[in-house]
A and B are shown apart, each in its own frame.
Chain A
Amino acid sequence: MRALLIRLLVLLTVSTGTVYVGWRWLFSVNWPNWWIAVPLVLAETYALVDAYLFGLTMWRVRQRGEAPPPPPDATVDVLITTYDEPVDMVVATAVAAQRISYPHETWILDDGDRAQMREAATRIGVGYITRSEDWAERPRHAKAGNLNNALFQTHGELMLVLDADQVPDPRILHRTLGWFDDPGVALVQSPQWFRNVTDADPLGSQAPLFYGPIQQGKDGWNAAFFCGSNALLRREALMQLGIVGYVKEVEAAVREALSASSRVLSQARRAAREQGPAAVAAIETVQGAVAQARRELAAGEPVSEVTYTFQRRADAAARALVDQDLEAIRADLRVLEQLPVAVDEELGLVVIDDEALGRLAERDWSPLGAVTSVRELLRAVDVDRSDEAQPVMPLATVSITEDMATCMRLHALGWRSVYHHEVLAHGLAPEDLRTMLQQRLRWAQGTLQVLLRENPLVQKGLSIGQRLMYFSTMWSYLSGFAAVAFIAAPVIYLVLGVLPVQAYGLTFLSLFLPYVVANQALFSVVGYGVKTWRGHQYSLALFPLWIRACTTVVANVVLGRPLGFVVTPKTRQAVGGFPWRLVLPQLAAVTVLVVAAVVGVVRLWTGSAPSTIGTAVNLAWVAYDLVILSVIFQAARYRAPEPAEELVS
């Protein structure tokens, strides 16, 4: 019944919305004032697309209820990831993890490699894993790297991933393992719920709309998201992902190296003239090997064989060079022996054997390596991914938030995911505005990185529904630009009398109001009993942050600039005064809105306002903007309650 009502409201929302936005584009854009008219109608179109994507999500809300009974003999590892969280906090989580009633092994994955953490793990009797030596001097890939490292040191068929602050319920495995009865299920995600949050939740930490209707809606499209913690994963699926990814990366790297090499090799050949004909011949051999490798790849030969042949031929070229060098050395030694002044009795003992010759021709000592470009080529045209700590990286490292990219790749391989709507772990949310902003920025950046690097709309293997479910989340992070238009338009109207819409008259109201009412009705039915208002406020009120996420990610992905990555601190930050600097853009927006409202009223009073309805609509709009923005000031003033009980047991 409720599902039917939701579908009805979805249809109502998108149809009234389409009529309204259609009318806006076709009949009411005030083109002479295009500089505000176009941004506003674009922002409205953005919101309509958002409504479509939300409607699509809600169309298939899936409430699964109880899982089947757990299998009798699954092997499970509970992996607690930590970087710099306090040892006590991790220990509390680990002790709770030990108490999980289903048989399992508990591991602390300490990326901080702390002696204290290791001792604590030994003391309470849980496993302790840090990065292996392979990771030294190689990209660490944050949490994804931490988990990838642990995957090769543990053995369970299934793993429960917990952030350091997420204290699990003892029943967590019993309640969720049954979903893995379906051999196609790779992931079971349960909600994140925070125990240090007040009812009002000014920082918007609880995400009941996401860990509820949205995840259930995505689940309906077989696109329930992996959210990094409180999730169970099937090892086999991750390993498959790692191997598929490995093959893909290797092939791409080899192709790229080969196609980039012709120019550098011609340069190297010109330079080799200085070193004599043998060097030139060696480079020519490498050129021949490159040409052959490209032909073979084009003919569909397996990469492993192509690279093997290539390496053999490069070795032969190196060996010819070493041979020539050693021949010269032997000749020199013979001359030295015959010199009358010779003083070494041991000269005759110099034997350069095959072993030495072979070693001198190996890749890292090869004289061919003198030409840097050739050295890099030789390294790149191989299957060992020597630039990475592990050739096989099951968790995606393409983004700073590993979860979404990993999940999308699992779905693309045909695996299924489950959203289990029951709180089975309690975590710690950020307790101050600064930390919360860092966290949101990281999420937004990670999501947008995935959008730019692996756009879900064009990923093979995903269904249309899955593509749109991923795209929907990414789309929502673009709201910052729309928010600017929604703040600027009423200000410009009230202060300057410039109309972005041809007329704020009855036609406008008769098309706009049904859309807004249907939309609100949809939200209130979907979000019945949960607090959706905070999320709505933050999607607009954090507009400077969302814009910053977009610009930094574009600079990162397109121009290769660093993101300035931060790990969200889980501990209480020092309490200072009111953080003016953090809310400066919002403060400016509020000031401008209030001034505009006053000016608007004065203009109406003096009779210089364009229209009464127009002023009324825009005053209501300003009021709405102010209510939305007010949340950030509540958040800035917010002090988390002192913990009622000690967390460490």
Chain B
Amino acid sequence: MEISTATADSAEVIRCEGRLNMVAVPHLRAAIESAVEQGQPRLVVDLSATTFIDSSGLGALVAGLKRARQAGGDLRIAGGGEQVRMVLGLTNLDRVLRPHERVEDALDGW
């Protein structure tokens, strides 16, 4: 898994490439934490290159959402392949973390 961060005009975009699993989660948490600490609580997690997510990956997304909201911002997700959407749908978490088609859609309104 590769996690890279890019700064957009109104938000921080965190891109997750590969498998978002137990091994990758600490890196995602660290990226979210560092963005919020640097004063940017508006986050987009780009899942368009994420091939797989497990329960710990979901946990990291929700924890990130909590962190962002507590700091007065939000966490939105964009992209996501078949498996990612299945997992979100199965757990009903897509009602909280509604996947946007593209990063630009997620940035809309910020």
- In the complex, the chain A residue whose C-beta lies closest to that of B1 is A370
- In the complex, the chain B residue whose C-beta lies closest to that of A334 is B66
A479 interface contact, C-beta 8 A: no
The answer on a CB contact under 8 Å between A370 and B24 is yes
Q: With a CB–CB cut-off of 8 A, which chain A residues contact B22?
A: 275, 279, 321, 367-368, 370-371
The answer on a CB contact under 8 Å between A339 and B69 is yes
The answer on a CB contact under 8 Å between A321 and B96 is no
The answer on a CB contact under 8 Å between B72 and A325 is no
B79 CB → nearest A CB, Å: 19
A278 CB → nearest B CB, Å: 9
Using CB atoms and an 8 Å cutoff, list the residues of chain B in contact with chain A: 19, 21-26, 52, 54-56, 58-59, 62-63, 65-66, 69-70, 72, 83, 87, 90-93, 95-96
Q: With a CB–CB cut-off of 8 A, which chain A residues contact B59?
A: 325-326, 328-329, 332
A188 interface contact, C-beta 8 A: no
- In the complex, the chain A residue whose C-beta lies closest to that of B23 is A370
The complex places the Cα of A413 from the Cα of B58 at a distance, in Å, of 53
The complex places the Cα of A361 from the Cα of B95 at a distance, in Å, of 22
A336 interface contact, C-beta 8 A: yes
CB-contact partner of B23 in A275, A325, A329, A359, under 8 A = A275
Q: With a CB–CB cut-off of 8 A, which chain B residues contact A336?
A: 62, 65-66, 69, 96
A352 interface contact, C-beta 8 A: yes
Having A360-B55, A360-B87, A367-B55, one finds 14 other A-B pairs with CB under 8 Å, namely A275-B23, A275-B26, A322-B55, A325-B55, A326-B55, A336-B96, A342-B69, A346-B96, A349-B92, A356-B90, A365-B83, A368-B22, A370-B19, A370-B54
Query: Given that A275-B23, A346-B95, A367-B22 are contacting pairs, would A332 and B65 also be in contact in the complex, using a CB cutoff of 8 Å?
Result: yes
Interface string of A318-356 (1 = CB under 8 A from B): 000110011011001101100101101011011110011
Query: Given that A355-B90, A369-B54 are contacting pairs, would A328 and B63 also be in contact in the complex, using a CB cutoff of 8 Å?
Result: yes
Query: A-B pairs with the 7 shortest C-beta distances?
Result: A370-B21, A370-B22, A325-B55, A325-B59, A322-B55, A370-B23, A332-B66
The answer on a CB contact under 8 Å between A349 and B62 is no
The complex places the Cα of A321 from the Cα of B59 at a distance, in Å, of 11
Using CB atoms and an 8 Å cutoff, list the residues of chain A in contact with chain B: 271, 274-275, 279, 321-322, 325-326, 328-329, 332-333, 335-336, 339, 341-342, 344, 346-347, 349-352, 355-356, 359-361, 365-371
Q: With a CB–CB cut-off of 8 A, which chain B residues contact A355?
A: 90
The answer on a CB contact under 8 Å between A347 and B56 is no
CB-contact partner of A351 in B58, B69, B92, under 8 A = B92
CB-contact partner of B56 in A271, A321, A332, A344, under 8 A = A321
The answer on a CB contact under 8 Å between A350 and B92 is yes
A26 CB → nearest B CB, Å: 68
A371 CB → nearest B CB, Å: 7
A383 CB → nearest B CB, Å: 25
CB-contact partner of B58 in A325, A346, A359, A370, under 8 A = A325
The complex places the Cα of A176 from the Cα of B26 at a distance, in Å, of 70
- In the complex, the chain B residue whose C-beta lies closest to that of A282 is B22
The answer on a CB contact under 8 Å between B95 and A350 is yes
Q: With a CB–CB cut-off of 8 A, which chain B residues contact A359?
A: 90
CB-contact partner of A369 in B21, B69, B95, under 8 A = B21
The answer on a CB contact under 8 Å between A370 and B90 is no
Q: With a CB–CB cut-off of 8 A, which chain B residues contact A344?
A: 95-96
The answer on a CB contact under 8 Å between A350 and B93 is yes
The complex places the Cα of A342 from the Cα of B83 at a distance, in Å, of 28
**Would you give 22 A-B contacts (Cβ < 8 Å), ordered by A?**
A274-B26, A279-B22, A321-B22, A322-B55, A325-B58, A328-B59, A329-B59, A329-B91, A332-B62, A332-B63, A332-B66, A336-B66, A342-B69, A349-B92, A349-B95, A350-B95, A351-B92, A352-B91, A360-B54, A367-B21, A367-B56, A370-B19
CB-contact partner of B96 in A350, A360, A361, under 8 A = A350
Q: With a CB–CB cut-off of 8 A, which chain A residues contact B54?
A: 322, 360, 365-367, 369-370
Query: Given that A321-B22, A365-B87 are contacting pairs, would A335 and B96 also be in contact in the complex, using a CB cutoff of 8 Å?
Result: no
- In the complex, the chain B residue whose C-beta lies closest to that of A365 is B54
Q: With a CB–CB cut-off of 8 A, which chain A residues contact B56?
A: 275, 321, 325, 367, 370
B12 CB → nearest A CB, Å: 18
A621 CB → nearest B CB, Å: 68
Q: Which of B55, B63, B91, B96 has the most CB of A within 10 A?
A: B55
The complex places the Cα of A279 from the Cα of B23 at a distance, in Å, of 10
The complex places the Cα of A494 from the Cα of B56 at a distance, in Å, of 80
CB-contact partner of A333 in B19, B23, B24, B96, under 8 A = B96
The answer on a CB contact under 8 Å between B70 and A339 is yes
A367 CB → nearest B CB, Å: 5
The complex places the Cα of A335 from the Cα of B90 at a distance, in Å, of 22
- In the complex, the chain B residue whose C-beta lies closest to that of A342 is B69
The complex places the Cα of A356 from the Cα of B54 at a distance, in Å, of 12
B63 CB → nearest A CB, Å: 6
